[in-house]
Amino acid sequence: MAANSDSYDYLFKFLIIGRTSVGKSCILHRFVENKFKEDTTHTIGVEFGSKLVNVNNKSIKLQIWDTAGQERFRSVTRSYYRGAAGALLVYDIASRDSFNSLQNWLSDARNLASPNIVIILVGNKKDLESHREVSYQEASQFAKDNDLIFVECSALSGELVEEAFLKCSRIILTSIENGQINPERIGSGIQNGDLSLRNLQRNSNEKHKSNNSNCINASCII
Ligand SMILES: Nc1nc2c(ncn2[C@@H]2O[C@H](COP(=O)(O)OP(=O)(O)OP(=O)(O)O)[C@@H](O)[C@H]2O)c(=O)[nH]1
Ligand SMILES: [Mg+2]
């Protein structure tokens, strides 16, 4: 199903979390608008964006909550963790401090979000190679140790920003398809869209029809 219609198979709720100034809002803007946000200011509380993407031939609506990284908003942003299906845990590859603070954000996500939440570690500002303070290997090891997927991207150049959202979405979709995640469960961070509801309806009608035809056959045999 093409991702340019308003119909979708599933809606996934996503969070973007991490220390202030790592580029969370710029990542959201790049993903939704495909532009770099030049005039960025600190997020107050949360901001919101959404986009339709095509994953494994399914149309998925991503509903994305971009949280404020400043400490004073921590209690507000924590209330948004509940019921998220996916999260981008962001640090800045040119800021050792932002990397060192990851564990705090990760603990919040693990404690407050859905138990099945899929988290991707995102090293932003990949364009600042000459100012790099966190190596790819170190971050990749952190991701491995904490059961996270990992990507380095740049909201400035756009490199691999979409890939971060898609990687996470692919894992969530696969977990739905193999029955590990039940989208019907309250707090899963997933909703069936009109396309999947139509499919469910069609399957149930077909089942009904085939049950009826079995009945007819049975009565013929009798
Ligand atoms: N070089 C470079 N700068 C970036 C990139 N992404 C964001 N920035 C800059 O980083 C600064 C912070 O960006 P924001 O997106 O506002 O950061 P944030 O994480 O949303 O910050 P809070 O809302 O306070 O939590 C801004 O000056 C951006 O221009 C990037 O990929 N490369
Ligand atoms: Mg922000």
pLDDT tens for each residue of 84-116: 999 999 999 999 999 999 999 999 999 999 889
Which residue bears the tokens 């971009």? 66
The end-to-end CA distance of the chain, in Å, is 45
Which residue bears the tokens 């991207």? 153
- Asked if pLDDT for residue 55 goes beyond 60, the answer is yes
| Residue 195 pLDDT level (bands cut at 50, 70, 90) | confident
Atom of ligand 1 nearest to the CA of 29: 15
User: Which residue in 182, 1, 3, 155 sits closest to 90, CA to CA?
Assistant: 155
Compute, in angstroms, the gap from residue 95 CA to the centroid of ligand 1.
Answer: 12
For the chain, what are the domain ranges?
10-195
Binning the chain into helix, strand and coil, the percentages to the nearest 5 are: 40, 20, 35
**190: three-class secondary structure by DSSP:** strand
**Top-tier CATH class for 10-195:** alpha beta
Q: Does the CB atom of residue 20 touch ligand 1 within 6 A?
A: yes
CA distance 90 to 81: 15
| Residue 187 pLDDT level (bands cut at 50, 70, 90) | confident
Q: What is the pTM of this model?
A: 0.89
The string of DSSP letters for 123-161 reads EE-TT-GGG--S-HHHHHHHHHHTT-EEEE--TTT-TTH
User: What's residue 185's pLDDT?
Assistant: 86
Longest CA pairwise span in the chain (Å): 83
Q: What is the mean pLDDT of the chain?
A: 89
Compute, in angstroms, the gap from residue 211 CA to the centroid of ligand 2.
Answer: 55
CA distance 150 to 161: 12
User: What's residue 197's pLDDT?
Assistant: 65
Which bound ligand lies closest to the C-alpha atom of 41? 1
Compute, in angstroms, the gap from residue 31 CA to the centroid of ligand 2.
Answer: 14
Percent of the chain beyond pLDDT 90? 77
- Asked if pLDDT for residue 204 goes beyond 80, the answer is no
Pocket residue to mutate for ligand 1, from 16, 17, 19, 21, most atoms within 8 A of Cβ: 21
Q: What is the mean pLDDT of residues 122-142?
A: 98
